[in-house]
Chains A and B, each alone.
Chain A
Amino acid sequence: MSTIASLHIGEIGYISEEALDFIPLKLLEMGCLPGAEIELIQIAPLKDPIYICVNGSHLAIRKETAAQIKILKSNN
């Protein structure tokens, strides 16, 4: 199963409903909710952190956090 970390730049996914327990509260509060559309905007030059847009929030998070959050990719 894919996670936020496996998105490519410009790719869109949807946060999986079963991801809820793995999303840190802080991210949840910033709009990173199950079912939300998430787009990967940019990856930092050293491959980490990554820059995402979810629910209108533009956020930079580290890869280790991103790798915990499961998503469904739009094509499957």
Chain B
Amino acid sequence: MSKNDIKVALIGNPNTGKTSLFNQLTGLNQKVGNYPGVTVDKKLGVSKLSATQNAIITDLPGTYSINPTSIDESIVLKTLLNKDIAASPDVILVVADIENLKRNLLLFSQIKDLEIPTVLAINMVDQMTKKGITIDLSVLRKELNTEVVLVSARKNEGIKDVKEAIIRCHVAAKASPLCNIDSKIDADYFAKLKEITPNYSMYELWLMITQNSFPDTISAEEKEKLLGFQRDISKLKKYQHKETIYRYQEINKILKKTYLVDKNKATDLRSRLDKIFTHKIFGYAIFVFLLLLIFQSIFDWASVPMDFIDATFADISSYAKQQLPAGVLSDLITEGIIPGVGGVIIFIPQIAILFMFIAILEETGYMSRVVFLMDRIMRRFGMNGKSVIPLISGTACAIPAIMATRTISSWKERLITILVTPFTTCSARLPIYAILIALIIPSKKVFGFLNLQGLVLLSLYALGFATAVLAAFILHKTLHINSKSFFVVEMPNYKLPSLKNVFFEVVGKTKSFVLEAGKIILALSIVLWFLASNGPASFDNAEKNTIENVANKNLSDDELQQKIASAQLQNSYIGILGKTIEPTIKPLGYDWKIGIALITSFAAREVFVGTLATIYSVEADDEDATTIKQKMSSEINPDTGQKRFNFAVGMSLMIFYAFAMQCMATLAIVKRETKSWKWPLIQLFGMGLLAYVSSFITYQILS
């Protein structure tokens, strides 16, 4: 990035192909950052406008107007009101969809009144003939007093025109309002408003008071005066309504001269598809079928690459063991870091497949139909039709799922969705379920065709959803939050998904998951390794004591090493921690070694299996036991002489992981999204208590 780069903000209604245009302009030159102050992901990309000129393009969340009703939309307003030189855009690129030009121009007219140089890109022009639309570009340019270009982002047509228009617009740097709203509403009122400060345009000041959003650059005295205007709220509301009507009148006047639709040419594919997708029987049947398809692919298709990744990391680990000199650092690398990184990488196939499905469903316009079908049902549980998307995404990972709740404008509905999403079975629970099921459930067919192991896994997923819905219902009845529930969803036209957009979406989201989760797991595996290989005085004496204790038993070198390692583990910090909590978890059927895994997996559930693997590999007395499953299977409960992982313990553990809030990353994201520690703490203790009680009951009944 250099100082000469033009800062461009990309703005548009949802479903206008804004993302396509962003991808075409920037290609792979994208990165995700944070907006200062608000921690909403910001997509940035560099675009080469000409041989000498680059632009930094910020992709703002899709919005219908700059009067925000959701967190996503408020970002747009905050970015535009910011006068900080480093952050404020030089040029705004407004994307509009040719078919909904009238509504799209409302947002354009608001942006234009901010008096920032603006380019209007009318997208999806390849649909013009099919939809019977004709447009007079030169008159439109004159009427809107701005650069207007026609593009077809998906077909990569007109992108060069957009780039040239950005440069021209930046050089000319002219910016004049489109609608003089003051004279049409109340000239005196707006004149008084304008008097407050010359640093902002009248419309910017109007936005500050109507949206109660004041930039840092405004002085205390100016803010005081602006707050004075806020006293008469009904007047503000009335004027906002008048403003919108007036804007539409102006837009209609302009479009009358420039935009023509021959309605006879419009096809009715949309209405035919809607009849099927929103049908009271077929609609739900198709939705359930799609869900089953998604789950099938997560379990079945993903298992091939996952097995491959698992084997590869095992190979790397053993190769590193051979190559590296024996020592503390090598142990850290081969027993801590490599399995730790492998533990994150292994989720990529599942997460990528899930993100791919969600991206396709959103791209095609089908997701809006699901929201439409599900809203009434979800409302009964205090949620919103839009909550369906987080609940489905939650089966991959709760983190992107919780971020997907930002489009829900009612705070109560959004909060409930955030609180219950971690109950859905995320992919981090899968390795725990998989290994425990393999240990305690026989692989046999029931009713002749269903695999019993698969059936148990499916039941655990059903349990997760059922608990989420039940918890939502309880929260709905107990949380007394007054928040206006307002619901409006655009039903976009159906279209074929763009492979490019789906690809970018999957790559971007998977990358940020791997980096976020990877950081925590890597850090934790180092901490865990440290705690397991260090301890108080008794740890240092463990080796000596063990040698003395077994001096007369004629043990082989290997056996002696194992005894020492076992004694060291028991006396390490982590061993002491495990022993300390052992009395608490004994009623659930767990010993101190499982206790250690419970503690470490508090950071992230998937650490559970790895921790047990580390603990048992240190101790393992069976040379052939190489896989984690074999190691766990050969573990004996010294009290009973039976296998440690019997049916009761296995079930108790699975129930524990189904309910417990064992994920630091999710807690952090909930804190970020709810802006308080209250909600993540309620989640942590509420879910923890439920997990403890349920596992206790499960173990006591089954054992």
| Known contacts A48-B375, A65-B487; A28 and B241 CB within 8 A of each other | yes
* A48-72 with Cβ < 8 A to chain B: 48-49, 51, 55-62, 65
Interface residues of B in 141-155 (CB under 8 A from A): none
For residue A47, which residues in chain B have a CB less than 8 angstroms away from its CB?
376
Closest A residue to B69 using CB positions:
A26
Cβ–Cβ < 8 Å partners of A48 in chain B: 375-376
A56 touches B488 (CB 8 A): no
A65 in complex: contacting residue of B237, B284, B376, B486, CB < 8 Å: B486
| Min CB gap B113→A, angstroms | 14
Whether the pair B64, A26 counts as a contact (CB closer than 8 A) is: yes
Complex Cα gap A60–B280 (Å): 16
Q: Using Cβ atoms and an 8 Å threshold, which residues of chain B touch A59?
A: 488-491
Min CB distance, A24 to chain B, in Å? 6
Given contacts A26-B65, A49-B376, A55-B103, could you give 16 more A-B pairs where the C-beta distance is less than 8 Å? Answer: A26-B69, A27-B488, A28-B245, A33-B244, A34-B245, A41-B271, A41-B274, A42-B372, A44-B375, A48-B376, A49-B489, A56-B100, A57-B100, A60-B371, A62-B485, A65-B487
Bound together, the chains give a CA A66 to CA B100 distance in angstroms of: 22
Cα-based distance from A57 to B278 in the complex (angstroms): 18
Interface residue B324 (Cβ < 8 Å from any Cβ of A): no
Q: Is the CB of B486 within 8 A of A26?
A: yes
B: contact size bracket: 35 or more
Cβ contact of A45, chosen from B275, B284, B487, B488, cutoff 8 A: B284
| A contact set with B: CB distance below 8 Å | 20-21, 23-31, 33-34, 41-42, 44-49, 51, 55-62, 65
**A55 B245 Cβ-Cβ under 8 A:** no
**A61 contacts B245, C-beta separation under 8 Å:** no
Contact call A51/B278, Cβ cutoff below 8 A: yes
- Given the interface contacts A29-B106, A51-B372, A55-B102, does A45 sit within 8 Å of B283 by beta carbon? yes
- How many angstroms between the C-alpha atoms of A23 and B237 in the bound complex? 11
Question: Closest 8 A-B residue pairs measured CB to CB?
Answer: A45-B280, A46-B376, A58-B491, A29-B65, A60-B489, A60-B372, A28-B244, A62-B487
Can you name 6 A-B pairs with beta carbons within 8 Å? A48-B375, A57-B100, A59-B491, A60-B375, A60-B385, A61-B488
Q: How far is the CA of A56 from the CA of B245 in the complex (A)?
A: 16
What is the bound-complex CA distance between A47 and B245, given in angstroms?
31
B240 at the interface (CB under 8 A from A): yes
Contacts A20-B241, A28-B245 known; A51 to B64 CB distance under 8 Å? no
Whole-angstrom distance from the CB of A18 to the nearest CB of chain B?
13
CB-based nearest B residue for A61 = B488
B518 proximal to A (CB < 8 A): no
Return chain B residues, CB-CB under 8 Å to A51: 274, 278, 372, 491
Q: Is there a chain A Cβ closer than 8 Å to B99's Cβ?
A: yes
The distance from the CB of B366 to the nearest CB of chain A, in whole angstroms, is 13
Q: Please pick, from A21, A25, A56, the residue contacting B103 in the complex, using a CB distance under 8 A.
A: A56
Name the CB-closest residue of A to B271.
A41
What residue of chain A has the Cβ atom nearest to residue B245's Cβ?
A33
| B490 contacts A49, C-beta separation under 8 Å | no
Residues of A within 8 A of B274 (CB): 41-42, 51
- Residue B132 interfacial (CB < 8 Å): no
For residue B368, CB closer than 8 A to chain A, the reply is yes
Most buried by A among B240, B376, B490: B376
In the complex, what residues of B have CB within 8 A of residue A45's CB? 278-280, 283-284, 373
Q: A55-B103, A59-B489, A60-B488 known; A29 and B373 CB under 8 Å?
A: no
Is B229 at the interface (CB under 8 A from chain A)?
no
Interface assignment of B295: CB less than 8 Å from any CB of chain A: no
Separation in Å of the B135 CB from the closest CB of chain A? 15
Contact B487 A56 (CB under 8 A): no
Write out the residue numbers on chain A whose beta carbons fall within 8 Å of the beta carbon of B271. 41
Is residue B200 contacting chain A, with contact meaning CB distance below 8 A?
no
Interface string of B479-509 (1 = CB under 8 A from A): 0000001111111110000000000000000
Point out the residue from B238, B248, B278, B371 that lies within 8 Å of A33, measured CB to CB: B248
B377 on interface, CB distance cutoff 8 Å: yes
Q: Is the CB of B102 within 8 A of A31?
A: yes
Contact of B490 with A58 in the complex, beta carbons under 8 Å? yes
Residue of B nearest to A49 (CB): B375
Contact B375 A29 (CB under 8 A): no
Q: Identify which of residues 96-137 in chain B touch chain A, using a CB-to-CB cut-off of 8 Å.
A: 99-100, 102-103, 106
State A41–B64 Cα separation when bound (angstroms).
22
> Which residues of A have CB within 8 Å of B280?
45
Chain A residues near B385 (CB-CB < 8 A): 49, 60
In the complex, A44→B368 CA distance in Å? 12
Cβ proximity bits B22-39 to A, threshold 8 Å, 1 near / 0 not: 000000000000000000
B106 CB contacts on chain A under 8 angstroms = 29
Least CB separation from B65: chain A residue: A29
With an 8 A cutoff between CB atoms, is B67 at the interface? Answer: yes
> Which B residues lie within 8 Å of A58 (CB)?
270, 490-493
A28 contacts which chain B residues (CB < 8 A)? 241, 244-245
In the bound complex, CA of A44 to CA of B369 (Å): 10
Cβ A29 vs Cβ B377 within 8 A: no
Q: Verify A31–B103 contact, CB threshold 8 A.
A: yes
What separation, in Å, do the CA atoms of A24 and B65 have in the docked complex? 13
* Chain B residues closer than 8 Å to A20, beta-carbon distance: 241, 245
A33 surroundings in chain B (CB, below 8 A): 244-245, 248
The answer to whether A60 and B244 touch across the interface, beta carbons within 8 angstroms, is no
- The residue in chain A whose Cβ has the minimal distance to the Cβ of B66 is A29
Find chain A residues with CB under 8 A from B492 CB.
Answer: 58
Contact pick for B64, options A30, A34, A42, CB 8 Å = A30
Quick one: given A25-B67, A60-B489, are A42 and B376 in contact (CB under 8 Å)?
A: no
CB distance from A49 to the nearest CB of B (A): 5
Least Cβ distance of B252 to chain A in Å?
10
CA distance A58 to B492 in the complex (A): 7
CB distance from B108 to the nearest CB of A (A): 12
Which residue in chain B gives the minimum CB-CB distance to A54?
B103
The smallest beta-carbon distance between B96 and chain A, in angstroms, is 12
